[in-house]
A and B are shown apart, each in its own frame.
Chain A
Amino acid sequence: EAGVTQFPSHSVIEKGQTVTLRCDPISGHDNLYWYRRVMGKEIKFLLHFVKESKQDESGMPNNRFLAERTGGTYSTLKVQPAELEDSGVYFCASSRLGQGKDEQFFGPGTRLTVL
C-alpha cells in the first residue's frame, strides 16, 4: 500500500508569490489533515477534511491560505501571497473514517522557503 505522498518536496519562492502544495492520501482514507512546522516550533494543526468537506479549519493562520479537496481524493494547499513567516515544513496526513483519532499517517512533507 502506497503511503501519503506530497509534492513538491521542496519549494523556494519569493515573498508575494503564490505556491500550491499537493497531497495524495492513502487510497481509501477519507480523513485528510494538513499540519505545519515552522522552524524551532512544534508541528501545528491547520485543517481537517472528511472526504471533500472541511471538518475543522481552526488552525488556518489567515485568509492567505486556501485548502481544497475536490472529489474527496487529493488535496491542495495554496498560499497567496506568500509571506516570510510562511516558511516551514507542511505535512499532510490521512486516516480511515472512524480511525482518525489514533492512526494518522503522515507524508514526508513539503519544505517551503519564502525569500
Chain B
Amino acid sequence: QKEVEQDPGPLSVPEGAIVSLNCTYSNSAFQYFMWYRQYSRKGPELLMYTYSSGNKEDGRFTAQVDKSSKYISLFIRDSQPSDSATYLCASGAGSYQLTFGKGTKLSVIP
C-alpha cells in the first residue's frame, strides 16, 4: 500500500464549478499536509499547507484534513481555466522529506 494515495484523474470540469480533490494516507506519523500545483513542464508550486485537522482557507482554495480517517482534500471554488494543472498532495512526518501522491490532472473548460 502506498503511503499517499491519490486518484490521478484526469478530471474535467466546466468553468465556475467547485472542484474537489482528494487523497488518503496510511502513515499515522504524518504531521503536516500540503497541496502543490504543477503546470506542464514546471516544478510543483506550494498552494496550501496545514498541520492540524480541520479547514484552512486561502481565497478560492480550501484545504481540509481529517486525521481520524486519514483523508486530505482540496476544494477550489469558482474554478478558472488558469486552474488547469496537476494537483499533488504531500505529507510529512518528523523529518523534512515529503511523501507525494501521484497527482490529479485537472482541466477547467471555458
Chain A interface (Cβ within 8 Å of chain B)? 4, 31, 33, 35, 41-45, 48, 55-56, 58-59, 91, 93, 95, 100-109
Contact = CB atoms under 8 A, between A and B. Distances in A.
A32 B4 CA distance: 23
B49 interface: yes
B92 to A, nearest CB: 6
Contact of A42 (B45, B96, B97, B101): B101
B103 A48 contact: no
Interface of B: 2, 4, 6, 32, 34, 36, 41-46, 49, 51, 88, 90, 92, 95-103
A106 B100 contact: no
Contacts of A95: 96
A45 to B, nearest CB: 4
